[in-house]
Each structure stands twice: as C-alpha cells, then as structure tokens.
Amino acid sequence: MSTPVDPRTTWDLPAPGAMPRTAALEPLVTRVLAPNPSPMTLDGTNTYVVGAPGGGQAVLVDPGPDDPAHLAAVEAALAGRDARCVAVLVTHHHGDHAEAALPWGARFGATVAAADARVAGPGGRVLEPGERLHLAGTAVDVVPTPGHTADHLAFRLESGAVLVGDHVLGRGTSVVTSPEGDVLAYLESLRRVHDLGPSALYCGHGPELTEDPGAVLDFYLAHRAMREEQLLAALREGAATVDELVAVVYAEVPREVWWAAAQSTRATLAKLLAEGAVDGDLDGRVRRA
C-alpha cells in the first residue's frame, strides 16, 4: 500500500498558530481568523470578507463563533474595505462556522443564506446548489459539496478561488462525519471542486492553498482511498469493531482526535457495507464480505 504524499509538505505555509489575524488575500477577499483554535479547528475558524473593491459592500462567508473579539476584527476588516455587510453566507451548520450567522446578520441588517433552513433562520435564504448569487458587486457560485456534512456548500468567486469550508482544510485532511456525512458524496464533491480548476482554495481552517490546489484535491482523493485500503487490511487481520479499527488505522494520529477518526471510520464502513464489500453491524462487529 503506497502512502500518498501531501504536496503541501514542500509549500511555504505559515506554521500552526502563525497565521496573521487579518490578511488581504486578493482584491476580492480579506480573511479574518477567529480566536477559537483547537485540534479540530486548527488555527481557528477563517471568516472571509468578500466584495468588489470600492463598491461599499461585502459579504461574510462563515462568520464563525459569536465572539466579541472576532466581531471587532471582522468589523475592522469591513471598515478597512470601506464596506458594509450585505449578506452572511454559511458553508455548513457546524457551530464553529454558523454560530454568529443569525446574531451578526441581525446586527448588520444582512440576509443570512445557507443550504440548511435552520442556519438561514426566519427571513433567511435557503441556497440552491448551482445558483449564482450577485452580491457586493461580484458573482458567487453556490457549489454543492456534501460529504463532511449533508448541507455543505462551497462558494466559487469570479477570480476562480473557491471558499471550501471544511470540505478541504489548510492543513491535514477533513473528517467525513457520521451518521450525517457520506463518503461517496464526499469523493464526488472533491472531484467537483477539482473540475472547477480553482485558482486557490480558501479553507474553513488553516492557511489558504494557492500553489497547486488541484494537487491537494488529488491528495485528498488518494488519502481517502488509502484509508479504505487500510480499513480492509485491518479487517482482514482481525479488527472487527469501530474502536479496534481506529486503533489500527489511526495509530499515528493523536488520541484526542480519535473520536473524529471514529466518525470517518464509521462513514467509510457505511460505504463498504452499501457496496457489499463488508457485512455486519456498525454498532457491533463487522467483517469482510
């Protein structure tokens, strides 16, 4: 079994914890890093301020945690762009991306838009996969990217950059949650973003990926294939429960994130069960079919 090489190991990316709080990424985009670092959120949640320069308007993508210091930093970024917030877009319902959506939408008098009606809230807008939004002097394409969660969206900008939320992370790999996530949908979503030929990936967590976004997507696809092979090999060697499989397949991963590894393992087993490669019970014992 060959281990795919992460192309980012040779890139010049900021070390963990060394990302600037606020960064202008391109004329359309300023990134503001929220102060919520953790093993799952890496450096913290990235909030993106997007709009045509000089137009006086901006959209927030993934406002993140409803934290006063983060709000102050986002308001400073808006002021720096001489823009008021006209809409709040959310990639998916997880709190580290969505918590501030409704309170900040109300504060700014801005529409909240997401795939999940609960995130968009009363008076919000439920986004349709494939639609094009005309906001803040620019066009934003809504790209369906289910997999990490069922409601996950990415947003493609006119520049060719894609805001990918938790579909792709700036460091390491993402989690396909269970039971909500879906490995087959996730793989399809990776190919969908690859097909867009993104000029950059602006991730929900970690640094922006500008050098060779396609190579990162190829690595993500190869990494998933490797995990599936490792699961099948571990089953062959006698591991039979989710916990036993995680201990073998994720041996090199810190134990504090094994709960997330267990979700990805369950999601991959669900795919293998559906394909008939495995049988048994996810809550009990599984074996190769």
Applying CB under 5 A, the residues found at the interface with Zn ion are 96, 166, 204
The tally of CA atoms less than 13 A away on the side-chain side of residue 249 is: 35
| Nearer of residues 153 and 231 to Zn ion, judged by Cβ | 153
| Nearer of residues 45 and 230 to Zn ion, judged by Cβ | 45
d(CA 41, CA 62): 13
- Sort 53 into a burial class: Cβ within 10 Å, 0-12 / 13-18 / 19+: middle
| Nearer of residues 137 and 204 to Zn ion, judged by Cβ | 204
d(CA 51, CA 140): 10
Instruction: Name the minimum Å distance from CB 136 to Zn ion.
Output: 23
Instruction: Name the minimum Å distance from CB 32 to Zn ion.
Output: 15
| Nearer of residues 96 and 116 to Zn ion, judged by Cβ | 96
State the CB neighbour count (10 A cutoff) for residue 119.
Answer: 24
d(CA 251, CA 120): 39
Structure tokens at 12: 């010049």
Helix axes 258-275, 213-236, angle to 10 degrees: 80
d(CA 191, CA 145): 10
| Nearer of residues 96 and 151 to Zn ion, judged by Cβ | 96
- Sort 87 into a burial class: Cβ within 10 Å, 0-12 / 13-18 / 19+: buried
Instruction: Name the minimum Å distance from CB 180 to Zn ion.
Output: 14
Closest to 48 measured CA to CA, from 155, 171, 195: 155
Instruction: Name the minimum Å distance from CB 97 to Zn ion.
Output: 5
Instruction: Name the minimum Å distance from CB 102 to Zn ion.
Output: 18
Instruction: Name the minimum Å distance from CB 260 to Zn ion.
Output: 11
Residue carrying structure tokens 């529409």: 111
| Nearer of residues 97 and 266 to Zn ion, judged by Cβ | 97
State the CB neighbour count (10 A cutoff) for residue 283.
Answer: 9
| Nearer of residues 71 and 90 to Zn ion, judged by Cβ | 90
Instruction: Name the minimum Å distance from CB 166 to Zn ion.
Output: 4
